[in-house]
Structure 1
C-alpha cells in the first residue's frame, strides 16, 4: 500500500470560461470539484494505477467533511487529523485557449495541539504502507522542518518516501534524505544557490543534490519530460509531442507513478518511462490528477529514454 500526505488539503474547483476578462462578470461554462491539494491528486492517480492507497493529512469544518465525502465516492481510503478551521478552496480558471489561471488559498492555521495529534499518530497511519509520498505546501502554524520530521519517521520504519514540495519546506526536508525528490529547474537553483543556464548545468545541479544522500533526484522539465539522477547513472526521459487539454496535476501524476514504481520494485528506466507516460496522459484529460489507461498505454512506448 501507498500512503499520501497532504497537510494543506483543498477543494479544487476548475472553471471553464470563454475568455478571462478582468473587472467583468463572466459566466462559467463548466465547473468541476475535486478533492485537492497535491497529495490528494497523487492519491487519485495511484488508485487509477491499480495500487491500494491511503490519504492522510489535515481537514477541517464543512469543507473538510465534503472532501471526505468526495473521497468515499472515489473509493479512496483516508485517515485524516481534524482541525477546527475550514479547509481551503483553490480555483483553476481555464479559457478557450486552455490557458490556466490559478487562485490558491493559503490554508487556515493549524494549532500546536492539532499538529502534535497528527505527529503522534503518523507512525501508526503508515504502518501498512511500503511507500509514502509527502506533497505540497503546509498550512500556517506548521514549521518548515515538518517534512524533515515526517521523512525521518518514515525512514525509521524502513519505508521509502517521496518528497515533492518547494521553498523552505524542501530545503529543510532534504536534510532527512528522502528516497526521491522532484524539484523543477527553479527549485534546483534555489536549493543550491546557483544559476542554471543550460542542460549541462542542470544535470550537474541534480548530481550535487543526489550526493547529499538522496537516492533519486527527479527534475521535472514540463513538455521535455524529466531528468533522473541516481548514484550510478543519469537518464533523460521525454514524452512525444502532445496537444494538452489541462496540464494541472501532471507533476502530481508523476509523483504518483514513481510511488507505484517503487512499490512494484521497477527498474529505474522502467520507472521513469512509466512516470512520464502517466504524467503525459494526465495532460489529455480535463480532470486534475487523472488519466485514461488507454492514453497511458499508447504513450508508454512513445517515451524516449536516454542514458546520458
Structure 2
C-alpha cells in the first residue's frame, strides 16, 4: 500500500505480561512496547516499511532490539547510557491489565539528543513521510526538540502525521506544518480543549477547528466507544462501524494513526482513508498485542464502515 515511512518513537520499552494459558497455568509474554512500535507494527500489516528512530540502551535495550526484529521492524536506534524502561503487568484475572512495575525512562544526554535528532531527520527526509509520537509516561527529551523537527521537516516538504498532544504538540505547531493530527478526545480534555464530561460532537468539532487554526492541516478525534470525528480542511466527517468483542483496546488509536500514515504515503482519498483507519483500529481490539491485526480482517471490516460528511458548524 505504501513505501518507507519514518516513525519517531521517543518512548519505547520492553513489556512483560503475565497471563494464563488454556490449562490456567502461568504464561509470560515479552514484547517490544511503546506507541511508535505499535504504529510500526500496524504499518507492516498494511504493507508499508516502517523505520523506527528511538533511544535504546542497557540490558533491556538488547532485549528490545531482538523483539523488534522479530516483528520485521527496522530500527535505527541511538544507544543510550541508561537502560530502556521495562513494564510488568498482570492479566491473569481478566482482560484488563494491572501494572505491577515500571522502570523510569532515561533522560537523554546532550549527545544522545543530538544523535536522535540527526537519525530522525535523516530517516524522515529519505522516506518522505514521517509519524511523530509523544513522550510517555515522562519526558526524556526537551520539548524544543519537537519545534526544531517541525521546522526542518516542513522546510523539506516531508508529509507528517502526528499522534501526540500537550506541550509537544504546541511546540510542533509553532515550528512548522502538521499534515494530519490523530488525537483522542480524552487527551484534549487533559489539554483543556474539551470540557471534562462533554462528549458531544459539537465539542469535538470545536476542538478540531481550534487545532486547525493552530496549524494542523487535518484533525481526527478518536472517541472511545463513540463515532470518530474528523475535519479535513472545511470538510467534516463522522465515521462509524459495527461493534466488535473487545479483547484488548490498547493500541487501537495507534493502529488508526498507522493507517493514516500509510494512506497519506499512498495518496488515498479522504473518505477511503478514514474508513481504513477505523477498520484498522477496530481490528486491533479483537486480539492481544497492540498493533497486531489481520490485513484480511481489516479488508472485511471496510465493507461495514460508514463515512458520513456532515454540515460544518
The TM-score normalised by the length of structure 1 is 0.90
Is 1:172 equivalent to 2:171 in the alignment? yes
Range that drifts further, 246-255 or 91-100: 91-100
Cα offset for 1:212?
A: 2.1
Is 1:52 equivalent to 2:54 in the alignment? no
Cα offset for 1:192?
A: 5.2
8 Å contact from structure 2 (residues 161, 180) kept in 1: yes
8 Å contact from structure 2 (residues 42, 291) kept in 1: yes
Alignment counterpart, residue 242 of structure 2, candidates 236, 240, 243: 240
1:264-303 matches, within 5 Å, as: 264-303=266-305
Which whole-Å CA distance do the structure 2 matches of 1:94 and 1:249 have between them?
16
Is 1:135 equivalent to 2:127 in the alignment? no
Is 1:16 equivalent to 2:14 in the alignment? no
Cα offset for 1:94?
A: 2.8
Range that drifts further, 62-71 or 89-98: 89-98
Q: How many residues get paired? A: 300
8 Å contact from structure 2 (residues 40, 50) kept in 1: yes
* Matching residue of 2:221: 219
SS at match of 2:127: coil
Cα offset for 1:149?
A: 2.1
Range that drifts further, 179-188 or 209-218: 179-188
Which whole-Å CA distance do the structure 1 matches of 2:122 and 2:291 have between them?
27
Cα offset for 1:104?
A: 4.9
Cα offset for 1:141?
A: 4.7
Which whole-Å CA distance do the structure 2 matches of 1:166 and 1:235 have between them?
21
Cα offset for 1:59?
A: 0.5
Cα offset for 1:249?
A: 0.8
**Over residues 195-244 of structure 1, what are the superposed CA-to-partner deviations in whole Å (9 max), with x where a residue is unaligned?**
26222122122112112221110111123242111112011112211111
Alignment counterpart, residue 31 of structure 1, candidates 28, 33, 54: 28
SS at match of 2:263: helix
Is 1:184 equivalent to 2:184 in the alignment? yes
Cα offset for 1:186?
A: 3.1
* Matching residue of 2:157: 158
Which whole-Å CA distance do the structure 2 matches of 1:160 and 1:28 have between them?
47
Range that drifts further, 7-16 or 181-190: 181-190
8 Å contact from structure 1 (residues 177, 214) kept in 2: yes
Is 1:260 equivalent to 2:262 in the alignment? yes
Is 1:123 equivalent to 2:121 in the alignment? yes
Relative to structure 1, the CA distance from residue 133 to residue 219 in structure 2 (aligned partners, 3 Å threshold; closer, same or farther) is same
Relative to structure 1, the CA distance from residue 304 to residue 211 in structure 2 (aligned partners, 3 Å threshold; closer, same or farther) is same
* Matching residue of 1:80: 77
Cα offset for 1:293?
A: 1.9
Specify which structure has the higher proportion of strand: 2
**Over residues 254-293 of structure 1, what are the superposed CA-to-partner deviations in whole Å (9 max), with x where a residue is unaligned?**
1111100111111111111000101100101112210012
Relative to structure 1, the CA distance from residue 51 to residue 141 in structure 2 (aligned partners, 3 Å threshold; closer, same or farther) is closer
Which whole-Å CA distance do the structure 2 matches of 1:183 and 1:14 have between them?
26
Which whole-Å CA distance do the structure 2 matches of 1:278 and 1:194 have between them?
26
Q: Aligned-pair RMSD on alpha carbons?
A: 2.1
The TM-score normalised by the length of structure 2 is 0.88
* Matching residue of 2:144: 145
Which whole-Å CA distance do the structure 1 matches of 2:299 and 2:139 have between them?
41
**Over residues 149-201 of structure 1, what are the superposed CA-to-partner deviations in whole Å (9 max), with x where a residue is unaligned?**
22222222211111212332223233233111122223334445552622212
